[in-house]
Chain A
Amino acid sequence: MKIMKNRIILVMLAAILPFISGCSDYLDKRPDDQLDIESAFENSKNLDRWLAYIYDGIPQFYGDSNWDMIGKDCTTPAEWISVGNNVCNYQTGNWTPSNGQIINYWSNLPKRIRSAYIFIENAHPLTDVSQKDIDIMKAECEFFIAYFHSLMVMTYGSVPIISEAAPTTNAEDLMIKQRPFYEVVDWCAEKLEEASKVLPMTYSDMANDYGRATALWALAMRARLLTFAASPLVNGNPDMAGVVNCDGEAIFTSQYDPYRWKLAADANKELIDVAEANGYALYEADAVEGQPDPYMSYFGALMLRRNEGNYELIMPRTEDGAGWLDMKSAPRSIQSQAGVVGVTQDLVDAFFMNNGKVAISGHNADGSPIIPNNGSGYTEAAFGEAPQASDYSTVDMTAKTNYFYNDPNGYSGDGKKEHIITESGTYNMYCNREPRFYISVMYNESFNWAKTHKDQTAANPVNKKYANFFVGQEDGKDGSDYPTAGYLMKKRIAPDYLGSSSSGQFNKRHGAIYRLAEAYLAYAECLYEYSISDEIGEYDSYKQEITENINKIRRRAGIPEYGSAELGDIDAAAAAAGLTARDLIRRERRIELNCEGGLSWQDLRRWKLAETELNGPFYGMNMDAGTPEEFYVRTEYQRRVFKSYWWPVPQDDIDRNPNLRQLPGW
């Protein structure tokens, strides 16, 4: 018994032992796989990774819920609200500083800016990274700091300058103040110019480094920013006079300054000169039988990569969400959830005729189109009435192009590349329009540009296929997914989309953040606005240069240039349509850059036209109709309410930072 007891005591002592011996280090654990700031910058791969996060702040060019959708070019179904898509709320003015922001620059970009500052503070040469490499990388960071600030200042108007990575969480480091608009603009412009001097024109390892910031990126973003900063919204806008920051400093100046246009014109000119000197040019596809192919040229300018011959693209976002928009813009018969991102009647009406003339110069209050008597040849059914037989074309319209319009084999009849663009029987509205129209808009009963139908099998080739937007039909209204205004977006959508999100067939494609065409158009506009102003008054001496730049775009688009026999000079062409040269410069820009990453929405703001253009009824074809007679009738599908030119600072930050002021109207 005694022995037993002793044994038990021994066992118990053994049980205590680990407590006595192991106490000190039992909890002494720390993760062995974590980097800190210092160690992260010791590895060259990590430098790229650090930059990858910063680059990822470039706004997506493709998307179904961004600025494109709240401008005047694009549509999405109202029913999307129920699936959490906020776009419709923005379209109808139902938005506040605290409900889901579809543009989240305020919350997203400061993170990238902070990351860029941390990179600049910490990056240093490594065995496999030279000082020069580091200098370029730091210049990339400087570029992004300025570029992201420029995005914010163009969006929110009144923003702070983030000048460092806040070292602590103390209030004095965090509660920064908004700065006057031009102070931010000029700060960004200067930084961009500096970055352009360090950044290379191109990278040698294009397989890996294509898509890294170049000097042209910096010049392009500077030109875009300065053009914005010269525009009526911020240049002499009396409506913004009372906006002040927390110290009572005025954010905007209400005095108009024409030299802002000069500044912008110079920046655009510099961009054009440097770009052209380095081999950049508007993309032009190979000619077909000796004739230019404007269809493939306009298509390729956005869709083709540099190694496919597209030297127009200045700033690509090499990774972008193209596949999603491909799906959303393909007719629904391709796949469910598709066939929803469309364009508006207003955009359809904006396109020129094939003869380069204005088809519709504007709209009356009731939505009826104003068809000028300028010999454009445009006709449509009387407003509000069903189309008659005479409102349909009687002949095929053809063009020489490599684009596979009505014939998937690329050839028709005698083997010539003579393609049918519109067949006889097409509603007149869609006949004889300029090539860019057919690349941009999928209208009802047009040839469906999906090369293959989803039901296509070897036994059942469904080669020829037409969009069918009639109610209840395979691409038409039946539930909540349908082309709201009677059109689908066709531009920047891959024609070979086959549609299956699960099978990984999403297209991967760069986004065209900036292409040279914008520079020509902006340059023309800046020169015009500068020269026409009362203070300068030198329009006549600049007119030649203005038209030349516009004509570069028209030439590529395959329509007559201003100064030609059909059109006369730009003022004459404008007068014939009851418009002004400014209207035509703007119209050229709208058509050329339609549906491109929100540029047209940006333009409506900058021109201070959004309050009228984005307010009131929006029209489309009648989606509740089952026959052409009912369908091709202009029908109101939505009433838009314009709320504000400026995006609101998120309410959360107004609450958190007592030094921030919300812009009026929120």
Chain B
Amino acid sequence: MQNRPALLITSINTITMLCNPISSLFGRKAAAILAFMAVLSFSAYAGTAGRQQAPDSDSAIDVIGNVSDENGDPLPGATILLKGNNDVHAIADIDGNYSLTVPDRWAILEVSYIGFISQEIQVGNRRVVNVVLAEDIGQLQDAVVVAYGQQKKESVVASIAAIEPEKLKVGTSRSLSNNLAGTVAGVLAVQRSGEPGYDNSTFWIRGISTFQDAGRDPLVLVDGIERDIDNIDPEEIASFSVLKDAAASAVYGVRGANGVILIQTKRGEIGKPRVTIKAEFAGTQPVKLPDYIGAADYMQLLDDIRVDCGMTPMYTDRIAKTRAGYDPDLYPDVNWIDAITKDWASNQRVTAEVSGGNNVLTYSLVAAFYNEQGILTRDPGREWDPSIKLQRYNVRSNVDINITKTTKFRVNIGGYLQDRNSTTQSVETIFSRAFRTVPFDYPVRYSSGEIPAGAEGNVWAMATQMGYQNTSESKIETLFSLEQDFKFITPGLRAKATFSFDRFSSGTVKRSTSPDLYTPTRQRNEDGTLVLNRTSTGSNTLGHEVSGTYGNRRLYLEFAVNYDRTFAGKHAVSGMLLAQRSNYDNGDKLPYRNQGIAGRAAYTFDDRYVAEFNFGYNGSENFAPGKRYGFFPSGAIGWVISEEPFMAPAKRVLSNLKIRASYGQTGNASLSGRRFAYLSTITDDYNTLDMYKWGMDGGYGITGMAEGDFGVPDLSWEKVNKANIGLEIGLFDGVFDMSIDVFDERRNNIFMERTSIPLTAGFIKSPWQNFGKVKNQGAEVTINLRKQFHNGLYVGFMGTFTYAHNEIVEMDEPASVVGTNRAKTGHPVGQIFGYIDEGLYTEEDFIGQDESGRYILSPDLPKNTLYNDIRPGDIKHKDVNGDGKIDIYDQSPIGGTVDPEIVYGFGLNLAWKGFDFGVLFQGTGRMWRLMSSNIIPGYDTGGYYNVFSNYQDRWTVDNPSQDVFYPRLTYGPNTNNAVASSWWLKNMSYLRLKNIEIGWSIPERWADRSFVSGARIFLRGSNVLTFSDFKLWDPELNSADGGRYPLMRSFSAGLEIKF
């Protein structure tokens, strides 16, 4: 008993020690696989049942028996204890069998198994005691993962959203962050691109509370270690908690300001090996591609606009020839979006999971494979393939070993490998160029094979002819922890030491090439060949360029002491004290370091009154000596009203009623701008200062040097004071649950570049200071309804709603601006500014025309300084400050922000006789965007940019309507119509059918007969429908003109088999 675990530790140490040389010899990939296999084999070795020894006496009875669940499946690892003498015990073996020697026939057996309701059975006259345990559905939901630990659900008084991992399995995309919007209350998330590998959502917990770029992102901890949320496979997740208020996150101190996401990976449970294999295959297509008009229509529109502007048409001949398809080389008609994209792409995901264990060792192994293709096309004439392909392999092995009855050793080894193939060109640029290139200039390729290119290049050639590159990433994540129960000192005392080491690296191999490019031609030679001029000579071979980054590594060390005990049945006391230290090295001059202590003290009286105090005391190397550490306290109280005696009569209906409140402080030490900001610097940066060259031939070139940053006196972290009030209501014992939270966050000390310092002061870099203040308020609601009807029908409904509105309180705006319509202060971070439109000018707004035909604006109207040729049909802007002219002083806040203030989701789940059906809708509200002036037809005289198919929805002399999409169009820039204006402000709110899924599981009686214990097939659609007032492109896309890789819709079929 004592030898084997020791051996195990040694062995695992040996494995890890072996891995180092192996990784240097064969690469990390091999080492990771080896470690995985080794741990697997040890798990199997350890997988035999333990046995007992019992006191001998005359009356002793040998009992044997079997422990199983209600389905008759054995429960290996179930514990059988003699009540009153825990030294007498046994563990069920792999078939659920046990044997035990008890003192006499009055002996009582306590049979327990995690996740099942324990039973006590008197032996009596029996020699064979078989036990059937019932599953305890409630028990698993009881514990909530909180910062550095777990708490019983009833005693949680902080604002924490714990989501069942199953709910995160929506959609087929690579990134877990894409599954958060609408499923987790308190999380605002938007996905701004569909490009494989770069399609992660941007997300914030309770919105944004700083106007700086840094210090917005939530802290994501996987098994307690800071890791990337998007590179974990959903199948690896055992629990997912979002810590929102100060009570939940103050212990993280300077890392906790933006909320925390805690993810625990799956751990093994005692039992025979359980194997689950799941495969899903999806076809994907863009949710929406912009719809451009063709070449002839475009040129006709340009001519129409020219005529409107008093010019002569210039495309008459080309329009006719284009329409007739006369000579597609000279008169092309290209939809460049079609030219670079395929109609369909695909992705596949296969996961395998094995878990099990016994009372000594439990294990969980998850391996996942994800493969995705993008929609960019390739040229079949090229043997190499520049299209986007992404493969990711995740693996995770978590092993828990009970070294002694009170000592647990955990080893987590996980990681992923990812390969991404793509063109050497920026995919973002390709899509924006596809929007920029007009359809009538030149074809994709001349019929004689030459590739034409205008000033913006040939976008098809960018996508298909420029070579390919492959980026390979690998990450290995390890964690070791030792947990000791010190009940021999005092019951309820435990201690834990954790060590973790992560390593990430990536490298890129680029094989670039370029084709010959020719000036677009409009002529043929006499022999019928095209008149071609080569503008650039390409290369015939693929270049070779290897670039790798240093990657990064993170070391983490933690030591914690926990105390948890209930006195006199009523006084539940718990405490936690922890020290941690981390070191993150990404190749910067110095690693990023953080260390501190954290603590928690909680007291619950009679399950009714809860009080909790938390603190974090930690610091970072970025601050001046003596000012490196900050103290972040928080407190919370709760009252479980439903537990009050006077509520007893209502308990059948009102099963849970709890109110809770918290207040506290967290911090943010992730400052944008610069590190070690307390030091003054000299700058000698070439990009800032350039180089000057003296000498007769300019031969003495030297990079400039000048005063750099001002040292910031009293540099400090940002502080956030957070208040939260929550209400939880449960009806009919789990049928209906609702929780409502209202919050108020005040962030101050925001580290920012001073903006009120005049340029004449001559600072090369604006001084930084802890200066800004932002307040952020909002509410969130979660509703869950679930009902199992007697006829087998299960109905579940969930809904979440999150609203967060922030407001800049102080951002060092000049005093002359604050309080005016131009002020950003008092408005949300990222507030859109522009002129306010009052419709379009009409004939009545003018008193006539001058001799050159220009319209003379009525003197009663404000003077328009934005454009010098205002006519009816132009956008009429409001003179907000009333100074009689429309100029920059009239710019005002319009609409809201590009980032949504409201995110919501609701879904329905039905299950009946093996069939299941789920649907999830997700939407956003208060999300806006200004259209780019590039979408205005004619603005660039047809030189650049495509025209959307709604182009006829415009003001013309014949259709002087105010209710149009476009104002009067002009040939060439009309700066009045192109300015940021509420005319171009579009509401980008949407509602999506995010996920719809139908599944069928094989009946249990089939499973009984086969070695398969369960199987399910399912069909899924994601991003199936989108409802929005905005029609030109997908409203979630981060684009003001639609020229961006679209979000994808997918339809998939999957199969899940359990053994």
Contact = CB atoms under 8 A, between A and B. Distances in A.
A23 B762 CA distance: 41
A217 to B, nearest CB: 13
B957 interface: no
B886 to A, nearest CB: 11
A12 B702 contact: no
Given A1-B2, A207-B699, A508-B698, A110 B760 contact: yes
B520 interface: yes
Interface string A157-186: 000101001100100011110000000000
A154 to B, nearest CB: 17
What band does the interface of chain A fall in when counting residues whose beta carbon is under 8 Å from B? 35 or more
Given A53-B706, A209-B695, A8 B620 contact: no
Interface stretch (A77-85, A279-287, A408-416, A513-521): A77-85
Given A11-B482, A53-B704, A655-B816, A169 B943 contact: no
Contacts of B581: 18-19, 26
Given A29-B590, A212-B694, A88 B455 contact: no
B532 to A, nearest CB: 10
Contacts of B756: 656
B874 to A, nearest CB: 14
Contacts of B681: 34-36
Interface in A34-62: 34-37, 40, 45-46, 48-53, 55-56
B494 to A, nearest CB: 11
A48 B484 CA distance: 65
B940 interface: yes
A1 B499 CA distance: 25
Contacts of A318: 692-695, 698
A88 B495 CA distance: 72
Contact of B759 (A19, A98, A650): A650
**Interface-centre pick from B453, B696, B767 (highest chain A CB count, 10 A):** B696
Interface in A601-648: 624, 641
B943 A479 contact: yes
Contacts of A8: 403-404, 407, 482, 484
B700 A207 contact: yes
Contacts of A176: 758, 760
B1029 to A, nearest CB: 28
Contacts of B895: none
B534 interface: yes
Contacts of B940: 79, 81-82, 480
Contact of B520 (A115, A305, A478): A478
Contact of B758 (A34, A207, A656): A656
Nearest to B5: A4
A48 B692 CA distance: 10
Interface stretch (A331-339, A441-449, A560-568): A331-339
Contact of B579 (A5, A19, A500, A510): A19
**Interface-centre pick from B454, B758, B816 (highest chain A CB count, 10 A):** B758
A472 interface: yes
A15 B694 contact: no
A391 to B, nearest CB: 25
B704 A49 contact: yes
B568 to A, nearest CB: 29
Contact of B941 (A79, A115, A454): A79
Contacts of A4: 2, 403-404, 407
Interface string B677-698: 0011110100001111111111
Given A81-B973, A207-B700, A336-B535, A472 B522 contact: yes
B514 to A, nearest CB: 10
A291 interface: no
B336 to A, nearest CB: 15
A210 B695 contact: yes
B915 interface: no
A27 B941 contact: no
B972 to A, nearest CB: 6
Nearest to B312: A624
Contact of B533 (A11, A474, A655): A474
Contacts of B691: 52, 56, 319
B535 to A, nearest CB: 5
Contacts of A112: 762
B684 A49 contact: yes
B141 interface: no
A12 B523 contact: no
A319 to B, nearest CB: 4
B770 interface: no
Contact of A165 (B519, B757, B762, B888): B762
What band does the interface of chain B fall in when counting residues whose beta carbon is under 8 Å from A? 35 or more
A162 B760 contact: yes
**Interface-centre pick from A1, A9, A15 (highest chain B CB count, 10 A):** A15
Interface in A175-211: 175-176, 206-211
A56 B817 contact: no
Contacts of A211: 693-695, 698
B774 to A, nearest CB: 21
Given A96-B887, A318-B693, A114 B762 contact: yes
B314 interface: yes
Given A27-B619, A210-B696, A162 B702 contact: no
Interface in A102-131: 106-107, 110-115, 118
B694 A208 contact: yes
A199 B975 CA distance: 49
B761 A336 contact: no
A94 interface: yes
Nearest to A92: B868
A169 B710 contact: yes
B333 interface: no
A451 interface: no
Contacts of B760: 106, 110, 160, 162, 174, 176, 653, 657
A50 B689 CA distance: 10
Contacts of A115: 706-707, 762, 764
Contact of A82 (B559, B704, B943): B943
B589 A319 contact: no
A37 B533 contact: no
A390 interface: no
A72 to B, nearest CB: 19
Nearest to B619: A27
Contacts of A641: 868
B896 to A, nearest CB: 23
A395 to B, nearest CB: 33
A93 interface: yes
B331 to A, nearest CB: 13
B279 interface: no
**Interface-centre pick from B595, B939, B973 (highest chain A CB count, 10 A):** B973
B496 to A, nearest CB: 8
A89 B975 contact: yes
A324 B972 CA distance: 26
B689 to A, nearest CB: 5
28 contacts: A4-B2, A15-B482, A29-B590, A29-B621, A31-B590, A34-B679, A34-B682, A36-B680, A49-B703, A50-B704, A52-B689, A79-B941, A81-B940, A82-B944, A82-B973, A106-B759, A106-B760, A111-B706, A114-B763, A118-B707, A162-B762, A169-B757, A454-B533, A652-B759, A653-B760, A655-B813, A655-B814, A656-B816
Given A36-B682, A52-B689, A89-B975, 8 more contacts: A30-B621, A33-B589, A93-B868, A169-B761, A207-B696, A305-B697, A478-B520, A658-B816
**Interface pairs A-B: 8 shortest CB-CB:** A114-B762, A53-B704, A480-B943, A49-B705, A15-B497, A110-B762, A319-B693, A52-B692
Interface of A: 1, 4-5, 8-9, 11-12, 15-16, 18-19, 23, 26-31, 33-37, 40, 45-46, 48-53, 55-56, 78-79, 81-83, 88-89, 92-94, 96-99, 106-107, 110-115, 118, 160, 162, 165-166, 169, 173-176, 206-212, 305-307, 318-319, 333, 335-337, 454-455, 472, 474, 478-481, 500, 508, 510, 624, 641, 650-658, 660
